[in-house]
Amino acid sequence: MYQNRPVLILGIETSCDDTGVALYDGAARRLLGHAVHTQAAMHEAYGGVVPELASRDHVRRLVPLARGLLERAGRSAHDLAGIGYTEGPGLAGALLVGASFAHALALARGIPAIGIHHLEGHLLSPLLSVRAPRFPFVALLVSGGHTQLVRVDGVGRYALLGETLDDAAGEAFDKTAKLLGLGYPGGPELSRLADAGTPGRYRLPRPMIASGDLDFSFSGLKTAVLMLVRGAEPNERFFADVARAFVDAVVEVLVAKCARAMEATGLTRLVVAGGVGANRQLRGALDAAAARSGFDVYYPEPELCTDNGAMIALAAALRLAKGAVKGGPHSFTVRPRWELGALS
């Protein structure tokens, strides 16, 4: 149904509170450009994401972002070979904005619209780096909504090794930041505050570090911080030391589970993706563990760790190259809940 065109893919990410667009050249295997509008300032007053406000802001931002990106790249919608968009998981209303735009433009241009799993985008995002990993690898996906270890044998070939049983690591970062009176989103601020803290001043639990499996739990760690804050006289030094204790605990657990996953699978490449993957303390600790144990670690650039259109454009280009996309009527749905294991 679709005619041969230059392999230029527009990627659209609207799963939560970031509007992301990107252009990926599948023939040259390179990112031509991307842009992200974050809604953090809008949601800060509420202490978290308000779904209806998020959806409406995507409506306002998406078309100008996409138009500006195409203009800066010297391209037009006529040059596109396909449009990738986040089909799920995420906020239903926010997902519908991206899906509607993608299918409308694809229908007008006679090209495919390719629904992408948000987590698949994160898993494949390190392939955009200059130092890109080869398949197979173990991926640590660590973000505000997910903490998982996944074996990745290729595009669409994913095996879950372990995951969080309650709070994701990024969620625990944000909740702990709120306990310490930091703004929203609090994870990055908490990490910066931890840099000023004294190592070892406080010792927090390392949940499930000795469980023998590859699962995680962080809700108890957040509760331990709450008890510590309630029982002390708060001041700037105290908050910095608590932040350091929290970050050290999370990082130690993540590194221990990654090392165990590498040993269990026998693989030699570890990929780290998701917003928490930009954390300096985590990267330093993983690099040290890799040097000790003899495996390699790969990270996307920090700007590509958080939600972005580039990872969606890449995943769409890879699926298009596999022939995993069929033409047809542009009826669509979104999947607010979508298990990664359902992909093929």
Q: How do residues 181-230 score in pLDDT, each as one tens digit?
A: 887 778 889 999 999 999 999 999 999 999 999 999 998 998 999 999 99
Domains in the chain, please, with CATH?
A: 8-124+305-342 (3.30.420.40), 135-299 (3.30.420.40)
pLDDT above 90: residue 243: yes
Q: Tell me: pLDDT of 1 over 60.
A: no
User: What pLDDT digit, counting tens, does each position of 134-143 carry?
Assistant: 999 999 999 8
Check pLDDT > 80 for residue 5. Answer: no
Indicate the pTM of the whole model. 0.93
Q: Are strands 82-88 and 269-273 parallel, antiparallel or unpaired?
A: unpaired
Cβ-count burial 256-295 (b if 16+ within 10 Å, e if not): bbbbbbbeebebebbbbbbbbbbbebbbebbeebbeeeeb
Give the pLDDT confidence of 252-300 residue by residue, as tens digits: 999 999 999 999 999 999 999 998 998 999 999 999 999 999 999 999 9
**Which pLDDT value is given to residue 4?**
43
Average pLDDT over residues 114-131: 95
Average pLDDT across the chain, whole number: 93
